[in-house]
Structure 1
Amino acid sequence: MQQRNPGNRRPTGTDGSDFSYRMVVDNRYTKVAKGKSTLSKILVIQAVVLLVGVLDMLLTYVNKESLETLFVVSSSITAISVIVGEIGRKRSRANFLRLYIAASSIGVLGSVASVIQSSTQLKASKSLLFYNWETEKVALLRIACVFIGLCVQIFSISTTTSLIRNMSPPKRAS
């Protein structure tokens, strides 16, 4: 059979009835490609949210306030997990993707715990001190950042789990 001519014409030497002999890409591989693309977008969103969190930490540091250890540790765990997730996505490594799910979940849960801890401290200090808009603004930024990160994490877990399931070879029935 000859190569196809430009112009979307039928190749010479065939009447079009050879359609059933052509190769078809398995549905699993198209799902993997879509999952990798979606995970790439999720990783970018997580990196942006992480960058906003780092800027929040820098703002706290510039204002000569103490940094929250839990928030710093959870942000660093999330940063490492984003790198591991990108490596797992590019190289199609299911173990790296599983590590990404676990580490990013720990990082997000640490951030949530940090926000809950800081908001209770903020309420206690707010009742004793006068209203400080700068402190409130930084706290609202951190809360928004963690909430968006939590929403992205939920979507990330479902996407990555689906990707791992489609990357694994199908189980044979015995």
Structure 2
Amino acid sequence: MQHRNSSLGRPSGTDGSDYSYRMVVDSRYQLVAKGKKRLSLLFIIEALVLLIGVVFAFLPGREQHIPNTAVFSSVIVSVVLVIIADIGRRRSRSGLLRFYAIASSIATLQLIVSLAMWHSLPKAIWDFGFSETRRFDATGFTGLQAGLLLYLLTFSLFKIWTIKAVLSLIFNMSPPKKSS
């Protein structure tokens, strides 16, 4: 058979009856390709969201003259983990993706707790929710704390979504179990 040329139509030497013998890509490999593409976008968005976390780390908290080293270290670890996960995504290394899923969850938890404590978020939520007044009074709940709360909730949900995508990719990358 000759090589296929799109302008000539069907290659010479075949009548089309060999269609059933052609290779078909398994749906699992198609899911892996889609998962890798989705993860590349999620990793870029995660890096941008981590930059917003750095902005919150620079804003003054309880002690204005001391930098928030816990947030900075958490962000640095998270960025390194995103780089490791991207390498794992590109090279189809499920071990690196598993490491990212576990370590990134711990770093995210540290980032969330550290930022919340730095800006006295639990105290503000407690005071806001359990005050004696019945009308809407947000005097103890500043705009910074409201923005931080929104950021932390959004980042938590985004991280859960990313971890779910990573686990889905790992599941699709692993070979199917053979029944005995």
TM-score (norm 2): 0.79
Map Cα deviations across residues 29-51 of structure 1 (whole Å, 9 max, x no partner). Answer: 11111110111111111100001
In the alignment, the residues of structure 2 paired with residue 24 and residue 81 of structure 1 have an alpha-carbon distance, to the nearest angstrom, of 35
2:122 to 120, 123, 130: 120
Partner of 1:162: 168
Listed as ranges, the matches of 1:124-135 within 5 Å are none
Partner of 1:46: 46
Structure 1 segments unaligned to the other structure (5+ residues):
none
Q: Relative to 1, partners in 2 of residues 1:123 and 1:17: Cα closer, same or farther, differing over 3 Å?
A: closer
Q: Which amino acid aligns with 1:88?
A: G
Displacement after TM superposition at 1:26 (Å): 1.3
Partner of 1:153: 159
Listed as ranges, the matches of 1:1-174 within 5 Å are 1-7=1-7, 9-60=9-60, 64-117=64-117, 118-122=120-124, 136-174=142-180
In the alignment, the residues of structure 1 paired with residue 65 and residue 4 of structure 2 have an alpha-carbon distance, to the nearest angstrom, of 69
Structure 2 segments unaligned to the other structure (5+ residues):
129-138
Partner of 2:133: none
- Greater share of helix: 1
Q: How many residues align?
A: 168
Displacement after TM superposition at 1:8 (Å): 6.7
Displacement after TM superposition at 1:80 (Å): 2.0
Q: Relative to 1, partners in 2 of residues 1:124 and 1:5: Cα closer, same or farther, differing over 3 Å?
A: closer
Q: Aligned-residue CA RMSD in angstroms?
A: 2.8
Dislocated runs of 4+, deviation >6 Å? 123-126
Q: Which amino acid aligns with 1:80?
A: V
Displacement after TM superposition at 1:103 (Å): 1.4
In the alignment, the residues of structure 2 paired with residue 20 and residue 154 of structure 1 have an alpha-carbon distance, to the nearest angstrom, of 42
Map Cα deviations across residues 112-166 of structure 1 (whole Å, 9 max, x no partner). Answer: 323443313556999xxxx699xx3433333333222211111111111111111
Map Cα deviations across residues 14-70 of structure 1 (whole Å, 9 max, x no partner). Answer: 111110111111111111111101111111111000011112223439x94433344
Displacement after TM superposition at 1:109 (Å): 1.5
Displacement after TM superposition at 1:104 (Å): 1.4
| Identity percentage of aligned residues | 41
